[in-house]
Amino acid sequence: MNFRAGILIGGKSQRMGSPKHLLTHNGSTFAEHLVATLEKHTSHIAFLGEGSLPEHLAPYERIEDSNKVNGPLSGMLSALQTHREPWLFVACDLALLGSTSIQWLLSKRRPTSNLIIPKDSQDVPQPHFSFFENNALQDVLEAVSRGVQAPRLLANSSSAYSPRIPEHVEKELTNVNRPSDLERVGGAT
């Protein structure tokens, strides 16, 4: 199965106060953990957005955000325009993400869906852990032309599939947005 993985690192980290992809958990930065996890599934990994990286991660592809839209959707759009291939997108603050979750998401690919944006137990779309097929670029461009800025709103697209995230996967999708979240998962700045 051939696809690319994009780690979204372009956020301002205002609630955390420091770049989230450089926070540590179990001795690795979040960025290092995500690369190690994603490498089990694809050899094509890119960092989407601006932000410094540890020197040994410098060889990984960097894709700048699109200027057509703000927020995480800018990184996703730019990735889709740079490489017209399927993309697995993950936010840089998923310190607990593991292969089981990635396998679950990949198992949800369907020929009739260009976007897989799963929903959590509260029925909230989770685009920070999503999969976009080759044809998703057109869906994203159409949404942007209608003024969509938030990637969660792409779940409303007719070509989107939003499976319910099972409990064991949802635990791995804990976002670390604030110092209290980092403390809760046992990480450090």
Domain segments of the chain: what residues? Answer: 4-185
Give the residue among 166, 153, 35 at the shortest CA–CA distance from 94: 35
Helices 136-145 & 72-82 angle (0-180, nearest 10): 140
pLDDT at 189: 58
Q: Distance (Å, rounded) from C-alpha 73 to C-alpha 69?
A: 7
Instruction: Express each pLDDT in 8-55 by its tens digit.
Output: 996 655 555 556 676 777 888 889 999 999 999 999 999 998 888 888
Whether 108 and 131 have beta carbons less than 8 Å apart is answered as: yes
Helical segments of 39-149, H only = 72-82, 99-106, 136-145
| CATH code of the domain made up of 4-185 | 3.90.550.10
pLDDT at 140: 94
Task: For residue 12, give Cα distances in angstroms to 49, 50, 56, 59, 127.
Answer: 11, 10, 23, 23, 18
pLDDT at 66: 87
* Structure-token pair, residue 4: 């690319």
Dihedral sign computed on CA atoms, order 121, 77, 136, 80: negative
pLDDT at 175: 78
pLDDT at 27: 85
Task: Show the low-confidence residues of the chain (pLDDT under 50).
Answer: none
Whether 67 and 74 have beta carbons less than 8 Å apart is answered as: yes
Q: Distance (Å, rounded) from C-alpha 18 to C-alpha 152?
A: 24
